[in-house]
Amino acid sequence: MPILVAAHRAEDDVGHDPSHELPLASGATLWIGLTQQTWCVMRGTMVAWVAGVGWLLCSVCSLPAQGVKSSPAPSSITITPRSVHFIDPLVYFDGLDGLPYGECMPLRLEVGGAPLGRVRVGIYEPEMAGSNDVWRAATWSAALMAAQLTGFDPRSLQMSVEPRRSTDGPSAGALLAVGLVAAIRGDEIKSDVTMTGTINPDGTIGPVSGIPLKIDGAARAGKKVVLIPFGLESEVDPRTGRAVNLVQYGRQQGVDIRSVQEIWTAYELLTGRTLPHPEPRPIPPPSAEMNQLIEQRWQRWVKLTQAAQDKYATWPAFTHTEGTESQMSDATRLLAESQRFRQQGDLLAAYMTAQEAAMTAWIAHEAGRYVYQASSGSFAGWNRLPE
């Protein structure tokens, strides 16, 4: 039986050099697939150690088992189609000079190639430092999102990623999800477009940091378009400590910066293809039991609001500052809105508004109490909260 012991970099493809095959006893074969870089690291005693382990495995595996009956192989195993894609996440690192810098890091992405129904999510680490837990979580989040977007295609949970160096953080999550879906659907990601952003369970793109640095890395890699999370119009450049407008900064670097709010828009900009968007479903109304519970809680928030208003009215006039008066006025307005929502039958809106009214009223009351006790020089019982 052949035994393969392989050590290769992320850029190695499937296959191996026959010159690295070593014939072993009992017809076994030891294959040491080494690139030039890996060979430099593993030369000398390391190669001898690997070869020794290979010989040991060969000897053990070639011995006939005594009294053990092998199970019959299944008649047929369905292997899912295998597909390999490359994506270009944007990352940033601390340079040797102490200044951070950004770059575009090619990442090999493979889906499928495993028995149907098997879940296999892997991260191939090229360096001993490897990837941290946040990166692993982002990879799993991307796989689960791709599963939802492809109707739970089995290949979405049979995937592996190979970064070219140690990685950290979740900022490649959205691009990973797009890359997985594209690999499954057979779509190609445009070579001059990339993105940065986390992926949320509902498909929205979450915020990230270091975007000015990443724009620099994208420009050096020849990217023309960079997608960033919606709402991030400016960010502080860690090299200068000054806020920069990201769109203007990208324009200066020759990069078109576009904001995206969710993965469906990002997919179309990255691939030029439309990703089917699920039809929104109406929120089911609360049950009668839930409505009764909400009504009870609503009444409690209303009583808390009124209690704060009554207590606030007992404080001397000098405690009613401009700030406390404004807050108590807001609480009164919110309480009226809550009662109106209840009359209209919208108990959820009534509950949320009453909760805000109570918190606002008690803030006004506590601020007034602070002014009163500060004037008397006594803070006894200050840490007591209302029942």
Name the residue ranges covered by the structural domains of the chain: 3-60, 83-271, 288-376
Structure tokens at 276: 């089917």
Please identify, in words, the CATH class of the domain defined by 83-271.
Answer: alpha beta
For position 249, what pLDDT does the model report?
95
For position 78, what pLDDT does the model report?
78
For position 129, what pLDDT does the model report?
65
For position 377, what pLDDT does the model report?
62
Structure tokens at 191: 């070579």
- pLDDT tens-digit series, residues 274-323: 999 877 778 788 888 999 999 999 999 999 999 999 988 888 888 888 88
Low-confidence ranges of the chain (pLDDT < 50): 1-71, 73-74, 382-387
